Amino acid sequence: MNFMSYADGMAAINLEFSDRVPRTEYSVEMHYELMSKVTGIQVAPDSPGELLNKARAIFRKEWSLDFAWNVLVSRQYLKGPTSYMGHAVYQADASDYNTNTYYAFNDPESVYKIDMFDLYGTIDHKTMVDEFNSHYRNACNYFTDMVNMTGIYITCISGMIDMFGWEMLLLALGNDPVAFGEFTNRYGAWIQQHYNALADCEANVVMVHDDMVWTEGAFAHPAWYRKYVFPNYKKFWSPLVEAGKKVIFCSDGTFTEFIDDLVDCGAQGFVLEPTTDMQYIADRYGKTHVFVGNADTRILLDGSKEDIYNEVKRCMDIGKKYPGFFMAVGNHIPANTPVDNALWYNECYEKMSKR
């Protein structure tokens, strides 16, 4: 199955119907057994880069992927002290497993005193614009015939997670929500530099990422978010909206209770995991916003063929009637997903994708 992926993806971004429901998938190109099966090219984590790139390009065509999730500004732009909480196994060869944890800040009082510009410096606007442009152009050259983007990972909460780790973040927030909120505003003033540059870059679609909630939902009182997080989001995204960018928001976890807030801040689309209520987004914003998701990867891991079919049907029943819907497994297709289940999922998508 090989469609006009860029055209179909941009139609959805622009809230126009195409003949099929467009689609994206996350991390599937690290599922080497699946790629080998689909492309006929035997690849593994240690395969030569040229061979991997060839297989991945063929795979993207075979699976008709339309949308390439991509960001530039991540923890490497925090050019100063950061924390690291280690990493569990995700990749097929377990090369990402890391138990070396370290923490840059040891007490809440040190957090409240941080001056972001003193700690991490200022950026040169033109240089940052050029970096976004280079990142975007490289993505277009690599992810051919797909909707490409650049963007920011460490919008607010995610940046503070990288700075402090979860324990110190929660301790500082719990001990003094006002002082931590004032620090959040200072973080916002610093990251605004990157958002101003993003507004001036070439990409028309931008990804704004922030893991601001857990699977259980908000980790702080909603009033704290509405006082300290969302006003900053609105400032960040205002120049993007003014520049005519399509602002796509992404967060892990369950952010159903904040969807209206995010729309008010300027989000024009949502990338979501299965625990966020896609039906709510469709009912309220299906005609005006993009939404991407949200099949549950756990069903691909352990479910029967009937379970997988029903999960694809659930997503299609919600999204297919709206122009801005992209099908996706909402929390990745990891390398331990049974190949036959992944192939069946793709077959179900193909059968149901036609409008």
Choose among 348, 273, 272: nearest CA to 303: 348
76, with CB counted inside 10 A (0-12, 13-18, 19+), is exposed
- Between CA 207 and CA 209 the distance in angstroms is 6
- To the nearest whole number, what is the mean pLDDT of the chain? 95
* Mean local confidence (pLDDT), 32-48: 97
- Between CA 130 and CA 127 the distance in angstroms is 5
- Between CA 299 and CA 304 the distance in angstroms is 8
- CATH number for the domain whose boundaries are 5-352: 3.20.20.210
pLDDT digits (tens, 9 = 90+) for 232-243: 999 999 999 999
- Between CA 173 and CA 108 the distance in angstroms is 8
pLDDT digits (tens, 9 = 90+) for 12-22: 999 999 999 99
- Give the global pTM: 0.95
Per-domain boundaries in the chain: 5-352
- Between CA 103 and CA 30 the distance in angstroms is 30
* Mean local confidence (pLDDT), 196-208: 98
Choose among 232, 230, 158: nearest CA to 195: 232
- Count CA atoms within 13 Å of residue 123 on its CB side: 23
Angle made by CA atoms 341, 354, 12, in degrees to the nearest 5 = 100
CA of 166: how far to CAs of 157, 184, 213, in Å?
10, 15, 12
Q: What percent of the chain has pLDDT over 70?
A: 97
CB 207 within 8 A of CB 149: yes
Count of residues making up the chain: 355
* Mean local confidence (pLDDT), 40-47: 96
- pLDDT attached to residue 89: 66
Q: What tokens were used for 196? A: 């101003």
